[in-house]
Amino acid sequence: MARELALKWRFVDSPRLGAKENMAIDESLLSKCQDEPIFRVYSWEENSFTIGRFQKIEDIKDWQRYGKNWAKRVTGGGLLLHGFDLSYSIILPTKLLGKKSVKQSYEYLCEFLLNFYKKLGLETNWAKDIFANSLSHSSFCQEGFEPYDIIIDGKKIGGNAQKRTKKLILQHGSIPLKTDSREHAGHSLEELNISISLTEAKQLLKESFCKTYNIQG
C-alpha cells in the first residue's frame, strides 16, 4: 500500500513512564532523528495527563484533579488524560511522504490505526464522514472532533496530533485500552467490549504499522 515507507525503521518500545519522561523522549527523538525514521510505542504512569503546546496549565480550572503527573506536548490540541492507554509516536523525514499535503499526510499516517482496530473486529470511520457539520475544537482532546479523528459506533476513540519542522514530521497519538473514571477521559476499547492487554496491544499495533506501510519489522 505504501511503498515509499518500505525501508528500515528504528523501533522503540519504552517502559511505563511519567508524563514528563514520555514527552522528553519524544522531543529528544525528534531533535536527533536524521534519515532513519522511528516508530515508538509507550505507556504512562497512572493519573498522568498532557496539555497542548498552546495551553497554559494555570488556565485549566482545578487542574490538580486530573493528577500532578503532567507535561506539555510538542503538538497542539487540548488536555488528554493518560495512564489507561497505549501511545505511539512516528518520526520521519518529510520527504518520505512525497507531495502529500498536510491533510493527506495526516490521513495517511493514521491508516495503520484503522487496520489495528479492524483486527480487533471493529468498524471505523473518520469524523469528517460522520460529523461533517459538527467538527469542533475543545480544551479537552476527547471532546472535540477533528476531521481525521477515528469514530467507532459513533464514539471518538483516542486522538492523534502532528508537529512539523523544516525536515521532519512527528505524529503521536493515544489508544484508550481501559475506562478511566476521571472527567473528560472519553471512550475506551473496554467500553466496546474489547479486552486486550498492554503487551498484546503493543504487538498488534506494531504488526498493523508494518503491514500497512510494507515495512520489515
Q: Which of 160, 153, 154 is nearest to 176 (CA)?
A: 160
Question: What is the distance in angstroms between the CA of the first residue and the CA of the last residue of the chain?
Answer: 16
Partners of residue 90 on adjacent β-strands? 39, 171
Distance CA 66, CA 43 (A): 17
Q: Is the pLDDT of residue 4 over 60?
A: no
Contacts of 4 (CB under 8 A, 6+ apart): 96, 97, 98
Total-model pTM: 0.93
- Looking at residue 1, its pLDDT comes to 42
Stretch 60-68: mean pLDDT: 94
Q: 91 - beta bridge partners?
A: 38, 170
For residue 17, pLDDT over 70 is answered with yes
| Domains of the chain, earliest start first | 3-212 (3.30.930.10)
Helix (H/G/I), strand (E/B), else coil: 11: strand
- How far is 63 from 150, CA to CA, in rounded Å? 27
pLDDT, average across residues 75-98: 95
- Residues with catalytic function: 141
| Cβ within 8 Å of residue 199, ≥6 positions away | none
The predicted pLDDT at position 8 comes to 84
Specify the pLDDT at position 135. Answer: 67
Spatial separation of the C-alpha atoms in residues 160 and 150, rounded to whole Å = 9
